[in-house]
Amino acid sequence: MAFKPALDDGVYLRESVQTAAKILVVGHFAVGKTTFIGTMSEIPPLRTEELMTQAGEGIDDLKGTTGKTTTTVAMDFGRLTLSDRLVLYLFGTPGQQRFVQVWEDMSRGALGALVLVDPERLEESFPVMDLVEHYGIPYTIAVNRFDDTETHQDEEIREALDLLPETPLVNCDARDQRSSANALIVLVRYLQSRLR
Amino acid sequence: MTTSDEPDQEPVAPQLVRPYVITNGRNLLGDHEFSLITLVTAAEDISRTGNLDPEKRRLLELCSGGYLSVAEIVGHSHLPVGVVKILLSDLTEEGYLFTRAPIPAAKLVDRHILEEVLNGLQARFG
Ligand SMILES: Nc1nc2c(ncn2[C@@H]2O[C@H](COP(=O)(O)OP(=O)(O)OP(=O)(O)O)[C@@H](O)[C@H]2O)c(=O)[nH]1
Ligand SMILES: [Mg+2]
């Protein structure tokens, strides 16, 4: 080997890993995406930054903008090695509609998405729901309850978000590993059911 | 960060200027063969690395301990995604890197992968 590796051993994937899969963790501002990824990841979460040109294209409404502006879109992600040969990456993807380019990239090759919602701020989830639907990404709703007073019933949330009967809805505390893993399991079961 | 070790010559968007220089002016937003979950590692028998750009050298160092995803290389290098993809693509063409491409989205393949993801999650957290 020509170089001494720049990072510690534990950072690298097992030699036997052949396949990488990805699941998106999406939701509006401050809904718990970073927390969820930090809870589930086997490595300290990392960030990617991409320079984006914002033009008045796609589904964003930027009427009146002259020329282009550039912005940096940051995404955090984590990793879970799930077998000798398979690694799963969880990408936290911002829900703002102006990040169309990011969504185009992220939707390609994604198994599905976990949509985190805060029942107290359901309307803030509409733009991100539009995005996952626009890109045809199969999803499960994970209701992140920020206070324990269960004022919202699942049915109310389903109705407010206009969910299809088949779309799973699961409660999830992004700070809790069992709870977060369960939300992923519900999503993956749903993805399996769609193939039958 | 890539910009911090050099004085800014222009007050405007130094982070835009710098990657342009690294990648010899190639378009950052075109289609690349690398996705964020392409797995990459350094070739075992690397010779003649002396004339590599410092940025490429750094990426090669990151890759020389085993496989990492492109996303992880981006995260550790603190370079923008588009820049890393171009540099990795060059390094691969030049024979310094090997890749494991992400799985094609064929349904049959998905079925196996979903099963493996589910089993893995249950084994680990169930
Ligand atoms: N009670 C409760 N608090 C949570 C939960 N998930 C996240 N939080 C808190 O909510 C705040 C925002 O969480 P983040 O994980 O930063 O949210 P985010 O979606 O990454 O936010 P942005 O990246 O800014 O859009 C933090 O203070 C978390 O501790 C949860 O499930 N329950
Ligand atoms: Mg965040």
Residue numbers of the domain that contains A123: 19-45+77-193
Compute mean pLDDT per 10 residues along chain B, 126 residues long, and list them: 42 42 46 80 80 91 94 95 92 90 66 94 93
Give the pLDDT of residue A49.
Answer: 86
The third-level CATH classification (topology) of the domain covering B19-125 is: Arc Repressor Mutant, subunit A (1.10.10)
Burial of B20 (0-12, 13-18, 19+ CB in 10 A): middle
Distance from CA of A41 to the nearest CA of B (A): 12
CATH number of the structural domain spanning residue A169: 3.40.50.300
The answer to the question of residue A11 being in a domain is no
Q: Is residue A69 part of a domain?
A: no
DSSP-derived pairing of the beta strands A86-94 and A19-27: parallel
Say if A25 falls within a structural domain.
yes
What is the pLDDT at residue A149? 64
Whether residue A106 lies inside any domain: the answer is yes
Count structural domains, chain A. Answer: 1
Instruction: Give me the residues of B, 54-113, that contact A with CB < 8 A.
Output: 58, 60-62, 64-69, 71-72, 74-76, 78, 80-82, 100, 102-103, 105, 107, 110-111, 113
> In chain A, which stretches have pLDDT less than 50?
1-2, 56-65
User: A170 φ, ψ to 5°?
Assistant: -135, 145
pLDDT at residue A136, rounded to an integer: 94
- Quick one: tokens of A121? 């701020």
Segments making up each domain of chain B, as ranges = 19-125
What per-residue confidence (pLDDT) applies to A4? 64
In a domain, A91, yes or no: yes
pLDDT given for residue A42 in this prediction: 96
Find out whether A89 and A22 touch, Cβ atoms under 8 Å: yes
Q: What pTM was computed for the model?
A: 0.85
Residues 27-66 of A with CB under 8 A from B: 43, 46-51, 53
- What are the residue ranges of helices labelled H in B5-51? 14-22
